[in-house]
Amino acid sequence: MGNSGGSLTTRSTGELHQLMREAGLTGIEDTKPLAEGWQVTDFADAGQHSLSTLVQRTGTPAVMVSFFDSDVGFIEALTPDGNSWEGLLNRDMAESYEIPLEHFPIEPAVAGALAWSATAGLTPDEEAVRQTLTGSALFAEELSSALLAALGLPGAT
């Protein structure tokens, strides 16, 4: 059985794990530093408003991917000014689980990802973003890592 938790990518000048707990995330694991203050932290579960609470408290953009058995990734991203977008990773696998793909249209997700990245002061790669949102992988975590790099997060591979 694969990962059914998630990962959160953000910047934080405070104690990120404490801020995550206060925002309703549980099962918080070690944080992996990227570059320029960006960090990726795995977690077991998130509450319904965890991302918005965390972005409010940190004042920085964040992207959260919740995994379903390592097969599918549900993306939520938000900036402090309220710009948000949602997406889906591993669409072929999602379809096999009968997840309604029409709830996760690709073009609005690509546009939202590019706007989120620009607001975060990053330089995204539009074609790479599109590839992660339409591609397939054995594990959704692989696509999540590729998405972070496509969004232009420094140090993401």
pLDDT tens-digit readout, 93-128: 999 999 999 999 999 999 999 999 999 999 999 999
| DSSP code of residue 35 | S
CB 112 within 8 A of CB 84: yes
Structure tokens belonging to residue 10: 């953000």
Q: What are phi and psi of 109, to 5 degrees?
A: -65, -40
| pLDDT at residue number 1 | 43
Predicted TM-score (pTM) of the model is 0.94
CA–CA distance, 54 with 102 (Å, rounded to integer): 28
pLDDT at 2: 55
Q: What is the pLDDT of residue 99?
A: 96
- pLDDT on residue 141: 95
Cite the beta strand spans of 6-157 per DSSP E: 6-11, 31-33, 38-43, 62-68, 72-78, 84-89
In which residue ranges of the chain is pLDDT below 70? 1-3, 13-14
pLDDT of residue 48: 87
| Mean pLDDT taken over the chain | 94
- The residue type of 31 is T
